[in-house]
Structure 1
Amino acid sequence: MSDTILEDIFIKRSQQKKKTSPLNFKERLFVLTQEKISYYEYDVEKRKKKCLKGTVDVDKIKCVETVFPEQSAPIERQFPFQIIYDEGPLYIFAKSDEIRKRWIHKLKQVVQFNKDLAQKYHPSFWMEGMWQCCMQEVKQAMGCQVLDTKNRGFFSNASRRKSRKPLPPTPQEETSPQSFPPQPPLQPRTSSCKGFAVTAEYDFAPMSNQELELQKGEEYTVLEMSETNWWRARDKYGKEGYIPSNYVTKAGNGLETYDWYCKNMNRSQAENLLKLENKDGGFLVRDSSKAGKYTVSVFTRIGGETVGSCKHYNICIKPQGLFYLAEKHSFNSIPELIHYHQHNSAGMVSRLKYVVSNKAKNAPSTAGLGYGVWEIDPRHLTFIKELGNGQFGVVKYGRWQKHHDVAIKMIKEGSMSEDDFIAEAKVMMKLRHENLVQLYGVCTKQRPIYIVTEFLPKGCLLDYLRDSHKKPTSIQLLEMCKDVSEGMAYLESQRYIHRDLAARNCLVDSNGTIKVTDFGLSRYVLDDEYTSSAGSKFPVRWAPPEVLLYSKFSSKSDIWAFGVLMWEVYTLGKTPYELLNNTDIAQKVPAGLRLYRPQLANDRIYGIMTICWYEKPEERPTFQDLVTTVEDLLYELQ
C-alpha cells in the first residue's frame, strides 16, 4: 500500500448528478497517496476514520483548480477547490487558503504526467443544472476559462518525476500555485450580475426596441442574466437592451476573439471551407473531435499543383503545459504558437499564410426570433416555397419580417393535440444547442396553427444520405453520428426524451452540420404508422423491446433509436428491417432480432450500434458515453 502524501479533514459537496438533486455538505477525511485520493467518514470525538465513502484514481484526474466561492458562503466554505476526473467535478472545501494551496500544488505535482490533462476549466460551481460561470447547461461542456499555462503547477525538468513512487513528506511547500484574484461573488440566475464584460463574436441586428445591437469585436457589459438565452447588456455609449447570449464571449478570455478560431467546426467542414478559399497556406484552428483539444487545418498546393489538399495537425501539450505542433518549438499559449507558425513552417507543409474564417458567415441561431418573441404574428411571415409534407402537414420555407429565413410547419387539423403542444412550446423554445433545430415560436391565433423553426437549407438527413451524387467519406459518416449524439446528449442533460429519433427527423445545415428536429413532438401525434396494444403511438422500426412491449419511453429508448439511426447513416439511408412488416418487427425484436452490420461500418462502428441495442435499458450507454466514444474514434483519424 502506498504511503500517505497528504491527509486532512475537509468538507465535501455532493456531486449533484441530477439537476434536481439537493446539495449536501459533509465532513470527510481525505487521504492522498501516489495512486488515489480516498475519503472516509470521520469520528471527530474518537479522532479516527470510519468507513470508506469513495475514491478517485490519480491517473484519471484531468484538472485541479480553485473555485470561486458561492454567494454568501458560510465561513467554512470560503476556500473551495475542484478535482476534475472522468465522473465530473469533485468539490472540496479547505479550512484555509494555505491548506488549499498545499493540496492543489501537491495534486498538480502528482498528476503532471497524466494523459488528456484539461486545457480549459470552469472557475465556478456546477449548480442547479448549469455552470455558474458561463451559464452552459451541459455538465460535460468544455471549460470556459483557459488554464494559465505559465503557472499551472507543473515543474521544471530538474524536479520532474516519471515514477509513481512516494515523494518525501513536505509539510510546507515553498512554491504555491496560481491563486485567482478576488472576484465579486457570482449572482444567482435570476438576479443581476453587473460589471461582467463580454465581446461580441457576431453582428446582431435588433428586431425590437427591447434589444441591443451587437457589432463584432465590440465590448459590452452584462447587467442581468435572468434568462439563459437572452442577457441584458449595455454598450459603450450607455445604451441598454437584450442580446443573444450565444453571440458573445467573456472579454479577453479564450480563443473566441481570434478570427482564425472556428468553434464547433469538424474536419470535413474545415476542408470544405479551406478548399473554397483555395489559397496555399490558408489555415484555421478548430475544436478537435476530442473535447478540450484543438487542431490546426492547413490548405496547401505542394509544388504549385492545381488541386490542393488539406493537412490537419493536432495541437499537443507538454507535461509542463506548453503547446506545440513541432516538438522543438513550444509556447505558453495557442495564440503564441499560431503567431510563430505564421512566420515559420517548422515541419508543417506550409507556414500559416492566410486566415480562413467562417465567423462572418455562420452566426448561430438565437432562442426565438427576438427577446420575448414566442407568439409570432403570421402577417410577419412570407411564404416562399413548399419543402414537403411532414408528419403534421405541409412544411414551407419562408421569411420572418422579410429577411430572416425560417421553416414553417402548417399543422393540419386532427394531426396533433394542439392545446397540449402550445402549453409545452415555451419550454421547448428554451432548448438551445448547435446540434438541435431551434424552435423560434408559434402562430396559434388562427387555424391551422404554425410552428416556426430554424431553416436548414440542405434538408432531411435521410434524403441527404440517399442522394447518389453525395459520396460521404468514412470520416463524414462518423461526424454525422457525432453531431446527432451531441444534440441528444444535451437533451439528455435537460431530462428531455425525443421519442422519435431517426434520420428523417434530422436536418442538414449549409455547412454540413446535422441537427436533430421534432424532439418531443411525438407526444402530441394523434395518428401514426403503428399503435401498440397499450395505445401508445411510435415508429416501430426504431423502437426497443420495452417500448414495443410496455410503451416505456426513456432516454435509453432514445439510445436504441440512435443505434438504428447510425445504421441508417452507414447504409446510406436504407430502411431498417426492410423485409419485415411492423407486426413481425414488434414480435421479433423483443425475441432477439437485431440489424446486420452495414458494409460501410467496421467492427468498431458496429460495436457502437450493438451496445445501443442491449435488451436491458440500464445496460445501454448514455449519450455522453456515446459522444466520448465517437470523439475518440474521430481523434484517431485526425
Structure 2
Amino acid sequence: MRNLRGDVAVKADWTMSEKLLENVFMKRSQQKKKTSPLNYKERLFILTKNKISYYDYDPEKGKKKGLKGTVDVEKIKCVENVCPEENSPAERQYPFQIIYDEGPLYVFAKTDKIREQWIHKLKQVVRFNKDLMQKYHPCFWVDSMWLCCQQEVKQALGCRVLETHNGAFTRSRRESRKPLPPTPAEEKISRPLPPQPPPRQPDPSPGMTVIAEYEYTPMTEQDLQLRKGEEYTILEMVDANWWRASDQYGKEGYIPSNYVVEAGNGLEKFDWYCSHMNRSQAENLLRTENKDGGFLVRDSSKAGKYTVSLFTKGGGDTPGSCRHYNICPTPQSQFYVAEKHNFSTIPDLINYHQHNAAGMVSRLKYIVSNRAMNAPSTAGLGYGVWEIDPRHLTFIKELGNGQFGVVKYGKWQGQHDVAIKMIKEGSMSEDDFIEEAKVMMKLRHKNLVQLYGVCTKQRPIYIVTEFLSNGCLLNYLREDLNHPSPIRLLEMCKDVTEGMAYLEAQQYIHRDLAARNCLVDYNGTVKVTDFGLSRYVLDDEYTSSAGSKFPVRWSPPEVLLYCKFSSKSDVWAFGVLMWEVYTLGRMPYERLNNTEIVEKVSGGLRLYRPQLANERFYSIMTICWQDKPDERPTFQDLVGTIEDLLYELQ
C-alpha cells in the first residue's frame, strides 16, 4: 500500500463503497473560543456521501488513528478556495474552506489539483442542501477579523458573491423537499444552474397604465375614486405616496400609490394572491373559511418566492389541515409545484391545479382571500392633508394611557377608524414635533403604524394614527395568544425587523423599541409605533438613563453609559423585544432594578434563553447583544437571517 503523504491523490478503497475521497491535509484549528491558540496539524480526511471525517494520522506508518472530528454533509453551506496569507509556508499554499453551522473549517491541500478535486466533489455532494450561501469571505478569519473586508463579526455575511459561469451562480438552492435525481447532463457539469432572476419591473412613470388593487373612496375633493380592477392613467408623481391620475372617463384626482399596480405585471390583480401574508395568517384564514380545497397564494418567507397554501379535510371527518407548497422555478424560468408539471407563468400553474391535483393533496377548489378587508393604510387622510380638523373626529372609547397622555379609539368623518393620542400639556416639545410630523407622515411601510395627521390649532394637540384592533403587542403576548408555535413567534419578530429595516434605510432611529411600542392588526400583523417620539419628551426621568422611566431594560451599554443612540442601539433593543416575544411578555431582568441592570449589563450580563426559543432562535437575540455596536447586524441583515430560517422551517 502506498504512503498517503506527498502528492498522492486519492487512495482507492474497494472495501468501502461509500467512500468518495481520502487524503491527508493540513488542518487549521477552528478557534471556537477567542482564547484558543491558532495551530496547524496533519489530519487524514475521508469524504462519504453523508459525512466528512478527519482522523489523527501516523505519517511513518501511513495509517489513521483516532477520530478527531466530523462534519455532516447536509450542514455544509459553502465550499470555496481561500486566498493564501502573505508569506505563508509551502505546505499552506493551497487552502480551501468548508463552511457549516460551526463556522469555517480551513484545510490545506498538497497540490492545486487535489484541492480542486475535493472542491468539485463536495459541491456536487452538497448541491441540494437547504442553506447554500450566495456570498462568502475569500480570505481567512484571523485575530477576530475577516482579512478580506475587516468585519469583526465571525457570523458576518460574506463580502464576495460566489463565482459565476455564463452569468449564473455556481450554487443552487434546493427548491423542493424531494430533489429530482440528477440527469446525465447535471452529472457532467456537477452543479445545476439556478434560474435567472425575473426581469426588473420598470419604475412607475407618468403615462403608465395601472389597475386598482383595492377600492378607494375619496377623502378630500382633490382625490379620485378607485374601483377595484379598473384601469387608470398616471399623470403626475410629485409625491411618492399620492399620484395624480385619470380614470377611463377623463376624471382626474389624487390616488394612494399603494392601492394600484402596473397593468400587465404582477399577481396583484388575481383574487387568490394575498401579499404580505405569512404562514400562520394563511392557516387562520383557511381554517376560518373551512372549505375542503380552499387555497390562496402568498409571499413566501423568502423574498421573491411564493407559496400555495391549501386546506384539506382529507375526505373524512377530521377537522382539516393546511398544506404549504413552494412554487419552484426551473432553470428555464418556468414554474412548478409538482415535478414534471411546469408552466410559463404562475397564473397558468394555478389554473392547471384548479383542475388537477397532480401531486398536491387536493386540487385547488375554492379561492380564499382577505383582499377586500385588507386594504393598506394611506399616508394621510387624503392628498396633502396633515392638519386634521378636530370637528371631524368622533371619540368612541379609551384605549389606554401612554407616555404623552390618553389614547382613544375613534372615527374620522364618521367612517374611518383612527387612534387619537391626546397630548398632555407639558409632556412634549410640541413645536419641534409639529415640524417633524410633516416628515413622519411620509414614512409608509406595512409594518409601521401610519401617522395620518395632527390637530394643532387647539390644546391639547392630537396625533391621529392608524388604528390596530388587537392593540399593544405586550398585552397581546400576555393575554391573547393561545399556545403559539415558535414559528408563529418568529413571524411576529420578522414583522418588526422589516419595519425597522425601513426606518434604518430612512436613517430614522426609534430610541424606544419594545413590545409595548408595537401594535397588532386584526390578522396578527405586528407594526412598530411611536418611532422617534422619545426625542420630544420633556420628562427628565424619561430622557436620562438614571431616570426610573428610561427604557434601561432595552438599552445597550453605550446608551446606558454615554446616551449614544444609533440604529445599532435599536438592534440591541430588538434582541430584547424578541426575548419578550419568546417569553410571552415577561419583564426583562425581572429580578434586577435599574441600577443593577446598568452595572451588570455593562459588565457582560445577558438575558437567558427562553423556553420557547431553540438555540437557533436564541442566537439571533445574542448577536443583537454584542458589546460593540459595529459587531451587531443591521436590521436588513436580520430580515435576511429570519427569512432564511423561516424558509427552511416552512
| TM-score normalised by L of structure 2 | 0.71
CA apart distance, 1:319: 2.1
The AA in structure 1 aligned to 2:235 is L
CA distance in 1, matches of 2:339, 2:200: 33
Paired position in structure 1 for 2:533: 521
Give the residue type in structure 2 aligned to 1:206: P
Report the equivalent of 1:509: 521
Q: Secondary structure at the match of 2:396?
A: strand
For 1:494 and 1:110, how far apart are their aligned partners in 2? 33
218 and 113 in structure 1: CA distance in 2 versus 1, 3 angstrom threshold: farther
Change (3 A) 1:199 1:569: same
Matched, 1:452 2:464: yes
- Asked if 2 retains the 8 angstrom alpha-carbon contact of 1:530 and 1:540, the reply is no
Q: Structure 1 residues 407 and 549 mapped into 2: Cα distance closer, same or farther (>3 Å)? A: same
Q: Match for 2:361 among 335, 349, 370?
A: 349
Q: 1:161 to 1:248 in 2, by over 3 A?
A: farther
What amino acid is the match of 1:600? L
How has the CA–CA distance of structure 1 residues 283 and 179 changed in structure 2, closer, same or farther, with 3 Å as cutoff? closer
Q: Answer with 461-470 or 486-495: which moved more.
A: 461-470
CA distance in 2, matches of 1:602, 1:537: 32
Change (3 A) 1:88 1:212: farther
Q: Is the Cα–Cα contact under 8 Å of residues 537 and 543 in structure 2 kept in the other structure?
A: no
Return structure 1 stretches of 4+ with deviation > 6 angstroms.
58-62, 85-90, 157-161, 177-183, 533-537
State yes or no: 1:163 paired with 2:220: no
Tell me the equivalent position of 2:347.
335
Bigger shift: 276-285 or 533-542? 533-542
Task: Pick closer, same or farther for the CA change 1:348–1:529 going to 2, 3 Å.
Answer: farther
SS at match of 1:387: strand
Take 2:209 and 2:465, find their aligned partners in 1: how far apart are those partners?
31
Contact 1:280 1:353 in 2 (8 A): yes
SS at match of 1:302: coil
Pairwise CA RMSD = 3.2
For the Cα contact (< 8 Å) 2:278–2:298, is it kept in 1? yes
Name structure 2 gaps, 5 residues minimum.
1-79, 82-122, 124-131, 136-156, 176-182
Quote the Cα distance in structure 1 between the aligned partners of 2:253 and 2:174.
Answer: 39
Larger C-alpha radius of gyration, 1 or 2?
Answer: 2
Shift of 1:376: 0.2
The answer for the alignment partner of 1:4 in structure 2 is: none
Aligned counterparts of 1:235 and 1:493: Cα–Cα separation in 2? 34
Per the alignment, in what secondary structure is the counterpart of residue 566 of structure 1? helix
Separation in 2 of the partners of 1:499 and 1:388? Answer: 21
Q: CA deviation at 1:159?
A: 7.8
Is 2:601 the partner of 1:589?
yes
Percent identity over the alignment is 74
Instruction: Determine if the alignment matches structure 1 residue 307 to structure 2 residue 319.
Output: yes
Say if 2:555 and 2:572, in contact at 8 Å, map to a contact too.
yes
Q: Give 1:256's match in structure 2, choosing from 265, 268, 272.
A: 268
Matches for 1:76-91 after TM superposition, within 5 Å: none
Task: Say if 1:532 and 1:548, in contact at 8 Å, map to a contact too.
Answer: no
Match of 2:622 in 1: 610
The answer to whether the Cα contact below 8 Å between 2:311 and 2:322 also exists between their aligned partners in 1 is yes
Pair 1:114-2:140 in alignment: no
1:234 aligns with 2:291: no
Contact kept? 1:113, 1:162, Cα under 8 Å = no
Does the CA-based 8 Å contact 1:563-1:609 persist in structure 2? yes
Task: Give me the TM-score of the superposition, normalised by structure 1.
Answer: 0.73
From the superposition, tell whether residues 180 and 614 of structure 1 become closer, same or farther in structure 2 (CA, over 3 Å).
closer
Aligned to 1:476: 488
Please state how far the C-alpha of 1:617 moved relative to its aligned partner: 0.1
> Secondary structure at the residue paired with 1:610?
helix
Give the structure 2 partner of residue 550 of structure 1. 562
Tell me whether 1:272 sits opposite 2:284 in the alignment.
yes
Once the two structures are TM-superposed, the CA of residue 475 in structure 1 deviates from its matched residue by 1.5
Task: Give the letter for the 1:376 counterpart.
Answer: I
Measure the CA separation in 1 of the matches of 2:188 and 2:548: 59
Partners of 1:592 and 1:351 in 2: CA distance: 55
Q: Distance in 2 between matches of 1:502 and 1:259?
A: 36
**1:363 equivalenced with 2:389 (yes/no):** no
1:579 is aligned to 2:636: no
Q: CA 1:179–1:309 in structure 2 vs 1: closer, same or farther (change >3 Å)?
A: closer
* Contact 1:435/1:484 (<8 A) preserved: yes
Letter in 2 for 1:620: R
One-letter amino acid of the counterpart of residue 248, structure 1: V
CA 1:284/1:627 → structure 2, altered by over 3 Å: closer, same or farther? Answer: same
Cα 1:525/1:162, change in 2 over 3 Å: farther
CA-to-aligned-CA distance 1:304-329 (integer Å, 9 cap, x gap):
32511111111112222221111121
> C-alpha deviations, 1:26-85, integer Å up to 9, x for none?
xxxxxxxxx99xxxxxxxxxxxxxxxxxxxxx99779xxxxxxxxxxxxxxxxxxxxxx9
Distance 2:200 2:522 in 1: 43
Query: 1:6-31: per-residue Cα shift (whole Å, max 9, x none)?
Result: xxxxxxxxxxxxxxxxxxxxxxxxxx
The corresponding residue for 2:613 is: 601
- Change beyond 3 A, Cα 1:596–1:179: closer
Q: Deviations over 1:283-314 (max 9, x none)?
A: 00000001111110001101232511111111
Shift of 1:207: 1.3
**Which amino acid is the alignment partner of residue 189 of structure 2?**
S
Deviation, structure 1 residue 223: 1.0
Select 1:622's aligned residue among 625, 634, 638.
634
Matched length: 494
Give the counterpart letter for 1:499 in structure 2.
R
Give 1:325's match in structure 2, choosing from 313, 330, 337.
337
Q: Residue 198 in 1 paired to residue 210 in 2?
A: yes
Deviations along 1:374-407, whole A, 9 cap, x unmatched? 0000000000000011111000000000000000
Give me the whole-angstrom Cα distance separating, in 2, the residues matched to 1:476 and 1:573: 15
- Secondary structure at the aligned position of 1:547 is classed as helix
Change (3 A) 1:294 1:528: farther
Partner SS, residue 348 of structure 2: helix
Q: Deviations over 1:200-229 (max 9, x none)?
A: 100000112211110001111111111010
**8 Å Cα contact 1:611/1:620 also seen in 2:** yes
Partners of 1:202 and 1:491 in 2: how far apart? Answer: 26
Q: In 2 relative to 1, CA 160–234 (structure 1 residues): closer, same or farther, beyond 3 Å? A: farther
Aligned residue runs from structure 1 range 118-197, under 5 A: 163=189, 193-197=205-209
Question: Greater shift after overlay, 219-228 or 534-543?
Answer: 534-543
Corresponding residue number in structure 2 for 1:133:
none
Q: What secondary structure, in the 3-state scheme, does the structure 1 residue paired with 2:387 have?
A: coil
Between the aligned partners of 1:226 and 1:594, the Cα distance in structure 2 is 48
Out of 298-307 and 237-246, give the one that drifted further: 298-307
Counterpart position of 2:434: 422
Instruction: Tell me the alpha carbon deviations over residues 444-476 of structure 1, each in whole angstroms, 9 at most, x when there is no partner.
Output: 000000000000000000000001663222111
Looking at structure 1, the residues matched to 461 and 316 of structure 2 have their Cα atoms a distance apart, in angstroms, of: 58
Distance 2:328 2:444 in 1: 31
Q: Equivalents in 1 of 2:271, 2:240: separation in Å? A: 26
The residue type paired with residue 382 of structure 1 is T
SS of equivalent residue, structure 1 residue 360? helix
**Take 1:414 and 1:441, find their aligned partners in 2: how far apart are those partners?**
20
Judge conservation of contact 1:522–1:538 (CA < 8 Å) in 2. no
| Amino acid corresponding to residue 340 of structure 1 in structure 2 | Y
Could you tell me which amino acid in structure 1 is paired with residue 245 of structure 2?
Answer: A
Query: How far 1:114 sits from its partner (Å)?
Result: 3.5
Residues 262 and 359, structure 1, Cα contact 8 Å, conserved in 2: yes
SS in structure 1 at match of 2:371: coil
Query: For the structure 1 residues 584 and 390, does the alpha-carbon distance in structure 2 shift closer, same or farther, using more than 3 Å as the test?
Result: same
**Unpaired runs of 5+ in structure 1?**
1-34, 37-57, 63-84, 91-105, 119-156, 166-176, 188-192
Confirm or deny: 8 A CA contact 1:499 1:538 kept in the other structure.
no
